[in-house]
Structure 1
Amino acid sequence: MADDLDQANIRFGQSMTTWRKRSGKTQQSLARHLGCTKGHVSQIENGRRTLNRSKVKEVDNFLGAEGRLEHLYSELYQPERVDWISKFHQVQAEAEVIRDYHNNIVPGWLQTKGYAMSVISSGAPWVKQEEIQERAALRIKRAQQVLRKDGPQCHVVMDDVAVLRPIGPNEVMKEQIEHLLKLAVSGRVLLQMQGWGQLPHAGLDGPMTLIASPSAPELVHFESVYRGQSTDVPKVVRQFGTLFSRLQATARSPQESVAFLEEMSSKYE
């Protein structure tokens, strides 16, 4: 537990230092703002002390971190309190580059409303129709933020099973595939399909998203039905970046992927 806390202190301290320098503030000015000594600030930045929770928002505002220090603090010290879904989509919308891999369904930000409703109702059959409609509508709204004209570069690898296995009626699957084709042909998304039987398969552990942002460290995000986990630890990000590169190398080319999707679209006539 002590080692975990030390690592949390180090990561938060490094991020606080980055934002302080970016804002042009000195340790002395931050200490004066907080009513503590310069040495105390130095110890927090070096990972030797933990910033008091009651001061996190104040530090975030003073350094102009726009909530990022607050989010990191919650992730490191209070993971059970993080609204990871909304935070993740906020980071995603602000990204410069998104590299996304999914092994069984179309990523949420590439889904059509009909497909999204089928996914939600299949995974949570107890949810009422009205709430399914609301969740799907929110998913489309968030997708529009990512896919806007000046949005991030998007590199996506999907296993064939995402379109081979129907998760809804034929018309839902055809509409979804046509949406993917439109994005791929237009160049808005660099899309590659991972064929069945390709070895080695670097995506066996499931979905992952790598996000590079202009004002934050690159991070990798893991997603499941009930929870998500993100980390910006450089070594881990590099490792998953390597996995994504391997997935791209063994997947179909973008042109071959378009041809495959066109073939699949015709099968859902």
Structure 2
Amino acid sequence: MVHIRELDSTASPLDYYGFEPRRKREEAGLTQRELANVVFCTGSLIGQIETARKVPQRDLSERLDVALGTDGFFSRLVGLVLRSQLPSWFQPFAEVEAQATYISTYQAQLIYGLLQTEEYARAVLATGVQEGLDQLVAARMERTRILSRKQPPLTLVVLDEAALRRPVGGPDIMRQQLAHLLDLQSHRWLRIQVLAFSGGEHAGLAGSFTTLRFADHPDLVYTEDVISGHMTANPDTVRETALRYASLQATALSVEDSAALITRVMEEEYGDRPGSDQRAVA
């Protein structure tokens, strides 16, 4: 007899998610293989999800909703599950970020997380983890969904030119990432400015920071150090950060000139070059 792992549905969002497909599947009189055939995956994947050994993905959750007639239940729950895969110190920020009506951020080294492509995010996250990379990437991509909401937050981004020129993941990944930034520029609720090297010293030399504004809560400022993140609603900090961000916006290139620089970097640094796939031979 096959031993089926019993889940405590209150143990974690992942355990709760795993408990529900099994319950709904059995109510429908389906085997794991039969459900898998309907949602276009393998029976073993269904088994891994039902025993909380595999983190579910959004596309499968949407298909489960259709197959089991659950009216969007799994599509809503998967967001909570994926957020729970983020580092524990980062989860509080991800939760409030999803509620913000206004986001302003200065990023000194990397493309802002909400603007990252999946391949770029994977290359960044791979530098700091030994296992669970797929779950972290899925969680990062889940965060970006707030930009595709019917009413996304007004998002103002200042990127240091270093973030464009640092070859994260290699030329192909960077070319795709910069092209993605240019595509995002078409949204009227998103403004991307580049702080060019030619701007010299500036108000963001101390490092990256993000400000979140809400409809009915005080503003929050978020910063990170090497191992954790820090949020504060201290009025003095919020005011000082706002002044620094205004200075950075004034120093940065215009949105139009920033797009031109992104295009130029994409072509000069990451464009196709004759023989670029050839390696030196000793």
Distance 1:149 1:166 in 2: 33
CA contact (8 A) 2:153 2:189 kept: no
More helix by share: 1
Give TM-score scaled by structure 1 length: 0.65
Give the aligned CA root-mean-square deviation in angstroms: 1.6
Q: What does residue range 35-54 of structure 1 map to in structure 2 within 5 Å? A: none
Does the residue aligned with 1:247 lie in a helix, a strand or coil?
helix
Paired residues, number: 184
How much identity, in percent, do the aligned residues show? 32
Structure 2 partner of 1:95: 100
Distance 1:92 1:110 in 2: 14
Structure 2 partner of 1:193: 194
CA contact (8 A) 2:184 2:190 kept: yes
Tell me, yes or no, if structure 1 residue 175 matches structure 2 residue 180.
no
CA contact (8 A) 1:202 1:246 kept: yes
Tell me, yes or no, if structure 1 residue 105 matches structure 2 residue 113.
no
Structure 1 partner of 2:130: 127
Distance 1:185 1:158 in 2: 17
CA contact (8 A) 1:92 1:146 kept: no
Cα deviations by residue, 1:13-62 (Å, 9 ceiling, x for unpaired): xxxxxxxxxxxxxxxxxxxxxxxxxxxxxxxxxxxxxxxxxxxxxxxxxx
Distance 2:197 2:214 in 1: 32
CA contact (8 A) 2:152 2:189 kept: no
Distance 2:203 2:110 in 1: 17
Tell me, yes or no, if structure 1 residue 253 matches structure 2 residue 254.
yes
Distance 2:250 2:214 in 1: 24
Q: What does residue range 11-26 of structure 1 map to in structure 2 within 5 Å? A: none
Distance 1:264 1:200 in 2: 21
* Paired amino acid for 1:214: A
Q: 1:240 and 1:166, CA in 2 relative to 1: closer, same or farther beyond 3 A? A: same
Does the residue aligned with 1:133 lie in a helix, a strand or coil?
helix
Distance 1:84 1:151 in 2: 25
Distance 1:101 1:197 in 2: 17
Q: What does residue range 1-269 of structure 1 map to in structure 2 within 5 Å? A: 83-122=88-127, 124=128, 127-128=130-131, 131-267=132-268, 268-269=270-271
CA contact (8 A) 2:100 2:213 kept: yes
Distance 1:107 1:242 in 2: 20
Structure 1 unmatched runs, 5+? 1-81
Cα deviations by residue, 1:117-147 (Å, 9 ceiling, x for unpaired): 111112x2x513xx21221111011111244
Please identify runs of 4+ aligned residues in structure 1 that moved more than 3 A: none
Structure 1 partner of 2:43: none
* Paired amino acid for 1:162: A
Does the residue aligned with 1:100 lie in a helix, a strand or coil?
strand
Structure 2 unmatched runs, 5+? 1-86, 272-282
Structure 2 partner of 1:34: none
Give TM-score scaled by structure 2 length: 0.62
CA contact (8 A) 2:156 2:190 kept: yes
